[in-house]
Amino acid sequence: MKLRLGTRKSLMATTQSQQVADRLTALTGRTVELVGITTLGDVSKAQLSQLGGTGVFVSELRTHLIEGDIDFAVHSLKDLPTAADPQITIAAIRLRDDPRDALVGAVKLADLAPGARVGTGSPRRIAQLRALRADLEYVPIRGNADTRIGKVTAGELDGVVLAAAGLARLGRDGEIAQLFDTDEMLPAPGQGALAVECLTGRPDLVELLSALDDARTRAAVTAERAVLAALEAGCSAPVGAYAADDGHTLNLTATVVAIDGARAVRKSASGPRTAAMDLGRELAVAMIAQGAGTLMGAH
């Protein structure tokens, strides 16, 4: 019997869903068909922060899971709300692709002329970009990667900032002018990783999908998302976090940046992979003690 994989209809979503489907078939022999689903986040022109964050992409797919229309779903992990839904299990987190942010355009950020227009829909990116170049104009944009890159090609914008992983999955990484190192710009918690979800009440499917799981990626993103959850921030708040795994230890760094880029709280901590959740929570507490909560209110 074919497994039905629910996916948003965008090229990015169907591409990454097909990659997961192909890998699952290779590992288990089960055939998978993609089922395209339209979400509010795909059809609304409002900014994501106005729609309630990137969870708008997730809720529709989860509804179809719960109603039995599909067997499992693939999400960009950075879109998933940090609050757990007891009906849903993240059965697998795939080996992470490049977690960094990328600038698409003709030149690097440092080489853009003062007043140049850079597009991004993310308050996290805008805040950190302003910290690097306060003299540029940051333009909120929506739309898929092709639409955003098209604004640069058409001359409407001088650059756009997108996730490097998504560009690579679409074969557009040749258009990247600059990859931002994590010391310049911390990615969104979970950026570059794909989450595979199914119903908690289907333990056979949870077990089957677990073949796709990468334990090191899971530990790293668990720490990052624990920071976000403990800061009580939605996905649109200016929070960046990245955990590097050296084989034994997780090295976690997180930041909260005021939206004007003028002030930030940035802290790092290390701990064993087995204590990823605690590592993230404890780092968030330390950040709150240094005033992170007041910065988050600076929208």
**Mapping DSSP to helix (H, G, I), strand (E, B) and coil, where does residue 133 land?**
coil
Q: Domain spanning 227-297 has what CATH number?
A: 3.30.160.40
What is residue 51's predicted lDDT score, i.e. its pLDDT?
44
Question: Which residue in 129, 65, 139 sits closest to 101, CA to CA?
Answer: 129
What is residue 281's predicted lDDT score, i.e. its pLDDT?
96
Q: What is the pTM of this model?
A: 0.91
pLDDT at 237 over 90: no
What is residue 299's predicted lDDT score, i.e. its pLDDT?
41
CATH topology of domain 101-179: D-Maltodextrin-Binding Protein; domain 2 (3.40.190)
Buried b (16+ CB within 10 A) or exposed e, 259-285: bebeebbebebebebeebeebbbbbbe
**What average pLDDT score do residues 274-299 get?**
86
Q: Domain spanning 3-94+192-213 has what CATH number?
A: 3.40.190.10
Tell me how many helices (H) and strands (E) the chain has: 11, 13
pLDDT at 54 over 70: no
**Do 277 and 230 touch, CB atoms closer than 8 A?**
no
Most confident of the following: 34-48, 188-202, 229-243, 257-271: 188-202
**Whole-angstrom Cα Rg for the chain:** 19
**Do 100 and 180 touch, CB atoms closer than 8 A?**
yes
**Structure tokens that stand for 177 in this block:** 């002018």
**What average pLDDT score do residues 94-98 get?**
96
**Residue type for position 236:** S
What is residue 210's predicted lDDT score, i.e. its pLDDT?
98
- HSE value, Cβ hemisphere, 13 Å, CA-based, for 192: 24
- 5 backbone dihedrals φ, ψ, rounded to 5°: -105, 115
Could you list the active site residues? 79
**Mapping DSSP to helix (H, G, I), strand (E, B) and coil, where does residue 160 land?**
strand
**Mapping DSSP to helix (H, G, I), strand (E, B) and coil, where does residue 49 land?**
helix
- 238 backbone dihedrals φ, ψ, rounded to 5°: -75, 70
**What average pLDDT score do residues 35-64 get?**
67
In the chain, ranges of CATH 3.40.190.10 domains? 3-94+192-213, 101-179
- 26 backbone dihedrals φ, ψ, rounded to 5°: -65, -35
What is residue 295's predicted lDDT score, i.e. its pLDDT?
79
In the chain, ranges of CATH 3.30.160.40 domains? 227-297
Confidence tier at 40 by pLDDT (50, 70, 90): low
- Average model confidence (pLDDT) across the chain: 91
**What average pLDDT score do residues 280-285 get?**
95
- HSE value, Cβ hemisphere, 13 Å, CA-based, for 214: 15
- Spatial distance between the Cα atoms of 87 and 201, rounded to a whole number of angstroms: 7
**What average pLDDT score do residues 138-158 get?**
93
**Do 245 and 260 touch, CB atoms closer than 8 A?**
no
**Structure tokens that stand for 149 in this block:** 């890159």
- Edge-to-edge strand order for the sheet containing 249-257? 239-245, 249-257, 264-272
